[in-house]
Amino acid sequence: MEPLECPDCGSALGKGVAVCGECGKELSDEGRPAAERPLPQEEKCGSKNIYAILAVFLAVVGGAALMIYIGLLPNPVKAGSTAAIVNGERISAEEVDRKLEIFKKMNAQGGKVDFSSPESKAAMADMRMQIVQALVQEKILVTEAAREKITVPPHEIADKIASVKKGLNLSDQDFEAFLKNHAMSLAAFEKRIEKDLLISRLIAKGTQEKGLTKDAWISQLTARAKVEILAK
């Protein structure tokens, strides 16, 4: 049998030693490093059990996600950060609060309104719910426009913005100030214009192609929408 050597420093080893006398390397299985030992049967079984548990966990998570999607389990995302869900699309509480802050800012000019009084707090709570309802109605119409396959090309959005600037006689600098005063970015304003055009075309489709009045068409769209209001 060939003499055993330390795999780390090459020093000669005696049979059955556990530690190299020269470098202190821990050894086992007649000179082999501990890192090269075959896994004991218990460790192999433990590894298999970990993978089995992981597979079960992933299956459970996937099943839970499916049950949340179809409504058999409550959706944790709905709580707190979501004001409403319309046709599967959420309206964030942040968006509601942002619009409420804009309303407060526009009505607090000159410091004439005290929003800390009980009456004002009640009025703000009522206004917040009105904002939620308005956003829900808008979301219904936008999602229904998508269902009706109505789209707006980018060049029409640009044309509409140019028309707005011309109608208000705004220079580019004035337009930037206008957006700033309304706490909007250009991208947000473009999105606003796109929504308005989508809704306008949706209404036209109902009144022209389906022969309905505007109110009747909106009522029909609202009735078939799936709405869940979570804001209080």
pLDDT at 52 (0 to 100): 59
- CA-based R_g, the chain, Å: 34
Q: What spatial distance separates the first Cα and last Cα of the chain, rounded to whole Å?
A: 83
The torsion defined by the Cα of 209, 212, 214 and 216, in degrees rounded to 10, comes to -140
> Given this model, what pLDDT does residue 222 score?
94
The domains of the chain are located at: 1-38, 40-73, 81-229
Rounded Cα–Cα distance for residues 178 and 101 (Å): 17
Query: What pTM was computed for the model?
Result: 0.59
Beta bridge partners of 227: 86
C-alpha to C-alpha distance for 108 and 102, rounded to whole angstroms = 10
Per-residue pLDDT tens digits of the chain, which is 232 residues long: 455 677 776 666 666 666 666 665 666 544 444 444 454 555 445 555 655 555 554 555 455 444 444 444 445 444 458 999 999 999 999 999 988 888 887 776 555 666 678 888 888 889 999 999 999 999 999 999 999 999 999 999 999 999 989 998 999 999 999 888 877 899 999 999 999 999 999 999 999 988 999 999 999 999 999 999 987 6
- The confidence score (pLDDT) of residue 3 equals 56
- The set of residues, in sequence order, having a beta carbon less than 8 Å from that of 48 and lying 6+ positions away, is none
| Predicted pLDDT at 110 | 56
Residue bearing tokens 């060939």: 2
Into which CATH architecture does domain 81-229 fall?
Orthogonal Bundle (1.10)
